[in-house]
């Protein structure tokens, strides 16, 4: 599990985008948390983007991203979860809530795109000012009855801009979700 993380960080460093340490906190658990061990499949729904995407971007980019990023993010979360080798949960991206099983919905409250000039000025990226930032709340629900399993808060930042940084942030978020789920199922 950690080797996969090290390989990802090495690949990101070589690609020119760096991912910082990120945070996941459990905001609350719901009635369905008692059934967390029953989760063996998890559908990842398209991400809900914030009303405002700030930072170094153009209106045209934002318009295009609003069309492609919700589904792209779901796929990247799935890929990030697959990096966690010990998680015994089958994940898949889904366009709609399933009628049975469990699903995950992520709502991004802050999405800030990095300034490439700031990133280029500090190639080692020790100073995280100017990094891309994602703050979000994700929730796992039991589709059978709509009950909440758990609500989690995420913060991910990366030294890069545009779509590449967003993909990497969503991938990292998927790893965090997998880590939380694995821990909850112990």
Sign for the pseudo-dihedral over CA of 169, 175, 181, 183: negative
* pTM (two decimals): 0.82
Q: Return the higher-pLDDT residue of 79 and 133.
A: 79
Give the domain ranges of the chain.
2-184
Residue 144 has pLDDT above 90, yes or no: yes
CATH number for the domain running over 2-184: 3.40.50
pLDDT in tens, 93-123: 999 999 999 999 999 999 988 776 766 666 5
- The pLDDT of residue 124: 58
pLDDT in tens, 175-185: 999 999 999 99
Q: Tell me, what's the pLDDT at 35?
A: 96
Amino acid 11: pLDDT: 39
- The model's pLDDT over 61-76, given as tens digits with 9 standing for 90+, comes to 899 999 999 999 999 9
More confident position, 56 or 22: 56
The tokens 């990094």 sit on which residue?
A: 131
Instruction: Burial-class residue 2 by CB neighbours within 10 Å (0-12, 13-18, 19+).
Output: exposed
Cβ-count burial 141-163 (b if 16+ within 10 Å, e if not): bbeeeeeebbbbebbbbbbbbbe
pLDDT 10s digits, 13-34: 434 444 455 667 777 899 999 9
pLDDT at 49 over 70: yes
Q: Hey, what are 58's tokens?
A: 């153009």
């Amino acid at each position: 599990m950690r080797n996969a993380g090290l390989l990802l960080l090495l690949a990101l460093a070589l690609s020119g985008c760096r991912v910082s340490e990120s945070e996941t906190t459990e905001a609350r658990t719901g009635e369905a948390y008692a059934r967390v061990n029953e989760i063996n499949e998890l559908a990842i729904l398209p991400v809900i983007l914030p009303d405002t995407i700030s930072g170094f971007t153009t209106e045209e980019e934002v318009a295009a991203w609003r069309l492609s990023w919700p589904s792209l993010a779901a796929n990247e979360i799935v890929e990030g979860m697959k990096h966690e080798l010990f998680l015994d949960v089958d994940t898949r991206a889904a366009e709609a809530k399933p009628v049975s099983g469990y699903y995950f919905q992520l709502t991004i409250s802050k999405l800030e795109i990095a300034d490439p000039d700031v990133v280029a000025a500090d190639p080692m990226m020790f100073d995280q000012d100017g990094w891309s930032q994602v703050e979000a709340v994700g929730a796992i629900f039991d589709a059978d009855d709509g009950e909440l399993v758990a609500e989690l808060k995420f913060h991910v930042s990366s030294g890069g801009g545009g779509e590449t940084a967003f993909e990497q942030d969503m991938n990292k978020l998927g790893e965090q979700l997998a880590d939380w789920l694995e821990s909850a199922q112990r």
